[in-house]
Structure 1
């Protein structure tokens, strides 16, 4: 899985999402863009991707599209329209674009398949960087807006005060709870 931290300037959301889909199709990868305000760290998206792939493999997925299933898990929400709040919108957005070649069938660690997946992810990333809407940025994952994250994931001050779990741990717990709520 590759992450592209960037600033997006989107005029036509439907066209931009279609561009992401076409790039994903060309490189046989899944591409999903997230509003960076709702992502706490890399492990948050890795956990969402793994749980989404597990749900798809079991036939328990909510969405037909892998990118949308990853979004649902990352948001910790069953309803697509509620999860879309974590997606991008028209205008300028600090974003994180997930690029992932589905290697869920590669549990045995086939090196050729893994290398091919990495090459496809890298090629897709390079193509994304050619889009006018994408401006690479410094690390958006280093500055988490705790208030926004806590509000989005319904993490209360009381909950934070009664545990030594990090904010990342609490968000990953919300992501995992989507499995239970099915």
Structure 2
């Protein structure tokens, strides 16, 4: 199984309709597609690590969610509870978005081609000071931790939270 990450900005008028369209593309191509809020991502490494952890959980049969996409979001959010993981989901209005597409290589490419028409592709995953507030809030990172580790290591603190999802089960 391969996966691809696609990121950019979009406008979502109605979340249910948007998710239905994404789900239709996934079904038509035999892929798993998970859409997430790029504003809470601490870089591509964060997304890749969450995807790998979720795929391993499914392979090892210790996943919490029945759906691989939801399991990815659970890891990406750094939250143990599935309900809390939805904090990484999409919202109405203008937003930066990340799609994770999983499946066979050709199927992933077909899904990606469709999704490229839904977003304006650009790097919205990279961590920046503009994301600081959302990221430290999403991952419950304290100012004390930031003082100890250093501002530049906030993405590493996020990776640590993703890693700890398994430990906190």
- Determine the C-alpha separation between the residues in 1 that align with 2:65 and 2:126: 30
- Deviation (angstroms), 1:122: 1.7
Contact between 1:39 and 1:45, CA under 8 Å: does it hold in 2?
yes
Deviations 1:14-60 (A, max 9, x none): 12112212211222222111111111111111111111112112222
- Determine the C-alpha separation between the residues in 2 that align with 1:56 and 1:3: 19
- Deviation (angstroms), 1:13: 1.3
Q: TM-score, normalised by structure 1?
A: 0.82
Q: TM-score, normalised by structure 2?
A: 0.88
- Deviation (angstroms), 1:135: 2.7
1:140 aligns with 2:136: no
- Determine the C-alpha separation between the residues in 2 that align with 1:48 and 1:60: 15
Instruction: Give the alignment's Cα RMSD to 1 decimal.
Output: 1.7
Contact between 1:30 and 1:100, CA under 8 Å: does it hold in 2?
yes
Q: Which deviates more from structure 2 when the two are superposed, residues 63-72 or residues 2-11?
A: 2-11
- Between Structure 1 and Structure 2, how many residues are aligned? 164
Q: Which residue of 2 aligns with 1:174?
A: 161
SS in 1 for 2:119: strand
Contact between 2:43 and 2:127, CA under 8 Å: does it hold in 1?
no
Contact between 1:4 and 1:136, CA under 8 Å: does it hold in 2?
no
Q: Which deviates more from structure 2 when the two are superposed, residues 78-87 or residues 168-177?
A: 78-87
How does 1:33-182 map onto structure 2 within 5 Å?
Answer: 33-101=35-103, 117-130=104-117, 134-142=118-126, 144=128, 145-163=131-149, 166-182=153-169
Contact between 2:41 and 2:127, CA under 8 Å: does it hold in 1?
no
- Determine the C-alpha separation between the residues in 1 that align with 2:78 and 2:143: 19
CA change 1:129–1:137 in 2 (3 A) is closer
What stretches of structure 1 move > 3 A for 4+ residues in a row? none
List gaps (5 residues or longer) in structure 2: none
